[in-house]
Amino acid sequence: MSADADGGTEGTADDRSPGSTAATGRSSVLLILASAQFLMTLDSSVMNVSIKSVAADLGTTVTGIQTAITLYTLVMAAFMITGGKIGALIGRRRVFGIGLVVYGCGSLVTSLAPNLTVLIIGWSLLEGLGAALIMPAIVALVAGNVAKEGRSAAYGLIAAAGAIAVAAGPLIGGAVTTFASWRWVFVGEVVIVGVILVFLRTVHDTPPEKRVAFDGLGAVLSVVGLAMTVYGVLRSGTWGWVRPKPNAPTVAGVSLVFWLVVVGLLVLGLLIDWEVRRERSGREPLFRPSMFANRQMTGGIVMFGFQFFIQSGVFFTIPLFLSVVLELNALQTGLRLLPLSLALLASAVGVPRLWPGASPRRVVRLGLLSMLAGTLLLVGGLDPGATAAIVLIPMALMGLGIGALASQLGAVTVSALPDSMSAEVGGLQNTFTNFGASLGTALVGAVLIGSLTSTFLTGVSHNSAIPPEVVSHATVELEAGIPFVSDSDLRKGLATTTLSPATQDAIVAENGAARLVGLRTALSVVALVIVVALFLGRMLPTTPVGADASDGAEGAADLGKPSEESNTTD
């Protein structure tokens, strides 16, 4: 047993006999942890191709399902730091098991959901809370079950499991939805959770740290700050950023979105200040702000946030183009995303094997350039005559880029600090990952609906085939936001009105044009974010991970001290 920076104890692989689970790194243990990582990541990608089907089944809209997807990643992001700390205090295997039970209950509730509210309770809340307990524990349990010399490969396997889930999710979701029902996806998750629980005893636990007072105020500040910020962005499309839309909630005449984002950011600022004071006074913080003095760790988790922002934005928009604009079924949509899946796997596995001595900074930047090229091709290719073939090359480029980032960022982040801090690193890494994913879905979705609404209203007001009274009625009724619907669904709705066939055709045409403008605008935001990420890529190391671990070790030693010396870590 070795003492950690806070005086607690933590078992490491090096302290155990060669015959122990930690020393041998048994494949069964890694399979359990990789399966859990696969399951957590799968939920964020498997349903994107089935958005239209789920919305129709539950009697809601695309925006409603967007809310559920965003809240799932939001709950994970908001509770991830707290989940990592709970694991450090009561034991990682125990909290891993508790998280699996909560997650399994959420999957069961989701599979039986009769409406959007129950879907959000099961999927967004319960599954999100379960994942927030599980994912930080995975990072620590790898360190506690795999010998030091094998951990780099083990973390690579865990990252590959997540990459496979991202790649396979659309195809799995599409096939199950087309041939059965999207509900069976969540039934399958319950089964997988049960199997993992049966074999959980084979995973060696990492003992809890020395009992210290839990930072309850820090936990509350982190949850409130993250939740308010992302929820504000999520509602911006329907409530307006500053100027409120019709019937939107306001405070002092200003949209509630503005206040949610501003207050959320202020709360996060208070959280950082509170944690700095706790760390300097020697009390146990929720997380150590001094960890961010380590440039390698900070660069890794920041780029994780950007990767999942970009990834979530693309996975939200392209399935909508395929399933709503082109009206493909879920399986056809999943098949059109197959180039992304295959390229992602090839890149994630191939880069470390073919280019083991590559600079992480260079690999990540090349990956981002590939993603930028794919996004720009989509922006330029989504026109009224576009077919499903337009997404093939862009999806392959996106997959190559995502795989390149996946091949580097996990090892960069985890290797930045010693194993005694793996749970905290895991909590922060997964917080940034899910915060980026929630912001990606929320912001890209808000831009999409906002652009669709403004373009449609402008189009109908200038279309001579649409009577002025219809334009006035549409302006009042739809200014708060227009649902993203297919031509078939729109025609069904218009067929119940007294509008002439010519007017109905004109409305359908304007809506079709506005949908494409909305998609292009949303993808333009993704492209802009990629450009920002390219500039911030300089925070990553230029030497291969493990080539020189002295910086990370020295920085970690300083982190145990509440003195000014910790600020020198770089």
DSSP for 361-421 reads: HHHHHHHHHHHHHHHHHHHHH-STT--GGGGHHHHHHHHHHHHHHHHHHHHHHHTTS-GGG
Which is it for strands 9-10 and 250-251: parallel, antiparallel or unpaired?
A: unpaired
- Is the domain of 187 the same as that of 259? no
Residue 507, in any domain of the structure: no
Task: Say if residue 40 is in the same domain as residue 154.
Answer: yes
Q: Are 286 and 82 in contact (CB under 8 A)?
A: yes
**Which residue, chain included where needed, has tokens 């010519």?**
502
- Give the span between the Cα atoms of 158 and 38, in whole angstroms: 8
Q: Are residues 524 and 427 in the same domain?
A: yes
Based on the fold, state whether residues 30 and 159 are members of the same structural domain: yes
Same domain for 232 and 271?
yes
Are 192 and 39 spatial neighbours (Cβ–Cβ below 8 Å)?
Answer: yes
Signed CA dihedral, 181, 183, 187, 188: sign only: positive
Q: What CA–CA distance (Å, rounded) separates 249 from 374?
A: 38
Distance CA 124, CA 227 (A): 13
Mark whether 262 and 297 lie in a shared domain.
Answer: no
Is 47 contained in some domain?
yes
Q: 546 and 415 in contact (C-beta within 8 Å)?
A: yes
Task: Please check whether residue 91 lies inside any domain of the structure.
Answer: yes
| pLDDT (0 to 100) of residue 104 | 95
pLDDT at residue 212 in the model: 65
371 with 324, same domain: the answer is yes
Encoded tokens for 496: 């119940």
Residue 61: both structure tokens together: 């809209």
| Spatial distance between the Cα atoms of 223 and 81, rounded to a whole number of angstroms | 9
Cα–Cα distance, 207 to 10 (Å, whole number): 6
CA–CA separation, 141 vs 29, rounded Å? 9
Q: What is the largest CA-CA distance in the chain?
A: 82
- Report pLDDT for 551: 43
pLDDT value, residue 419: 67
- Tell me: do 158 and 263 sit in the same domain: no
Q: What is the CATH number of the domain that holds 446?
A: 1.20.1250.20
97 & 236 share domain: no
Q: Is residue 483 part of a domain?
A: no
- Does the residue 503 lie in any domain? no
DSSP state of 119: H
Half-sphere exposure of 151 (CA within 13 A, CB side): 27
Q: Do 101 and 171 belong together in one domain?
A: yes
Per-residue pLDDT of the chain (570 residues; tens, 9 = 90+): 333 433 333 444 344 443 444 444 457 788 899 899 888 888 767 777 777 788 889 988 877 887 787 788 778 878 888 888 888 788 889 999 999 999 999 999 999 999 999 999 999 999 999 998 998 888 788 877 877 666 666 776 777 777 678 767 878 888 888 888 889 999 999 999 999 999 898 888 776 666 667 888 998 998 899 889 878 877 776 788 888 887 889 999 999 999 999 999 999 999 999 999 998 998 888 888 888 889 999 999 999 999 989 988 898 899 889 988 998 887 888 888 889 888 888 888 788 888 888 899 999 999 999 999 999 999 999 988 888 999 999 999 999 999 899 888 877 887 788 766 766 777 788 788 878 887 888 788 888 888 888 899 899 888 888 888 888 877 766 765 677 888 998 898 889 888 899 999 999 999 999 999 999 999 999 999 999 999 999 999 988 875 544 444 444 444 444 333 333 333
DSSP string, 143-194: HHHS-GGGHHHHHHHHHHHHHHHHHHHHHHHHHHHHHS-THHHHHHHHHHHH
Predicted pLDDT at 480? 59
Q: Which residues contact 22 (CB under 8 A, 6 or more apart)?
A: 11, 12, 13, 15, 16, 144, 145, 146, 147, 204
Q: Is the CB of residue 484 less than 8 Å from the CB of residue 62?
A: yes
Q: Which domain holds residue 227?
A: 215-283
Last residue of a domain, one of 231, 257, 283: 283
Cα separation values, 33 from 92, 244, 387, 482, Å:
12, 46, 40, 42
Which has the closest alpha carbon to 142: 124, 162, 126, 128? 162
Is the domain of 247 the same as that of 293?
A: no
State the sign of the Cα–Cα–Cα–Cα dihedral 57, 62, 68, 69.
positive
Structure-token match 């799995």, residue found: 172
Can you spell out the DSSP letters for 221-283?
HHHHHHHHHHHHHHHHHHH-SSSPPTT--EETTEEHHHHHHHHHHHHHHHHHHHHHHHHHTTP
Angstrom distance (rounded) from CA 82 to CA 223: 9
Give the tokens for residue 38. Answer: 């696969």
End residue of a domain, out of 235, 267, 283: 283
Q: State the Cα–Cα distance between residues 222 and 267, nearest whole angstrom.
A: 8
> Structurally, how many domains does the chain consist of?
2
Residue 158: the pLDDT is: 78
Q: Which of 268, 283, 298 is the last residue of a domain?
A: 283
CA distance 432 to 107: 24
Tell me whether residue 459 is in a domain.
no
Q: Give the separation between CA 99 and CA 91, rounded to whole angstroms.
A: 12
- Residue 204's contacts (CB-CB under 8 Å, 6 or more residues apart) are 11, 16, 20, 21, 22, 29, 93, 141, 144, 145
Instruction: State the Cα–Cα distance between residues 442 and 238, nearest whole angstrom.
Output: 11
Whether residue 176 lies inside any domain: the answer is yes
Name which of 80, 107, 48, 95 is nearest 324 in CA terms.
Answer: 48
- pLDDT score of 390: 93
**Does residue 484 lie in a domain region?**
no
pLDDT at residue number 116: 93
- Nearest 5°: phi and psi at 486? -80, 165
Q: Judge if 247 and 347 occupy the same domain.
A: no
User: Do the beta carbons of residue 264 and residue 225 sit within 8 Å?
Assistant: yes
Burial of 562: CB neighbours in 10 Å, binned 0-12, 13-18, 19+ = middle
